[in-house]
Amino acid sequence: MDRRLENKRALVTGASRGIGAAIARRLAREGAHVALTYVGNPDQADQTVKAIQALGVKALAIRADSADAVAVVAAVERAVNELGGIDILVNNAGIAIISPLDDFRLEDFDRILAVNVRAVFVATQAAVKHMRMGGRIINVGSCNAERIPFVGGGVYGMSKAALVGLVKGLARDLGPRGITINNVAPGPVDTDMNPATSDFAKLTVERFMALPRYGTGDEIASLVSWLASAEASYVTGANLAIDGGYTA
């Protein structure tokens, strides 16, 4: 693989497993040193770090709950200190709480916004203080920002739609500094939280997909790595669907 990110320094939030881990490994394969955050499973985070280190680059795991703004800023600062700077921030950490309107708890509403929206802003604000010309901010949004064909996903969809507006606005702030900011918007992806073998997945594929399958974490990571590279230097303020035709 072309090491087009040789010696870049990256922080990927929520990257002990799933899509985040796939992104962290892909950036490392292309030559980047990678810090990742996790919340609840240090063993998985350690396994991901070891897999990255085996590729010949630096890696570290930082425990940080994205709902805690102080912890988010501290994670950015630690990544900067231990990697010697930051060139790439991938705001991947996110949660989904699905519940009908009448049953939705206000504390769950607040936590979704804290993790899915506020943490993205906080991490971005902290990271760009250390970024030079050519810096990259990449958020992992969702196809559900545009389409939610099931009950109970309104708050989750709202949180991901908020990232679209945030990216468009921050592209104006960061453009003069030579820093790009974009969203990727995955469709259904095969993870341990949403396995492609479930009954829900079968229904999703049959009813909503143009391509009759779930995506993979590696496919999402390929788009993220491209946005992180010099090849995407003219792309900013974009929301790029990678959803198998879910929103087509």
Catalytic site residues? 156
Q: Pick from 48, 73, 74: which is nearest to 60 by CA? A: 48
110, 115, 120, 126 alpha-carbon torsion, rounded to 10°: 100
Interstrand relation of 88-91 and 59-63 (parallel, antiparallel or unpaired): unpaired
Rounded CA separation 132/112 (Å): 31
3-state secondary structure of 210: coil
Q: Give how far Cα 90 sits from Cα of 19, 78, 124, 141, 184, Å.
A: 11, 15, 9, 11, 10
Q: Report the amino acid identity of residue 182.
A: N
User: Beta strands of the chain (E only): which ranges?
Assistant: 9-12, 33-38, 59-63, 88-91, 136-140, 180-186, 239-242
User: Do the Cβ atoms of 182 and 236 come closer than 8 Å?
Assistant: yes
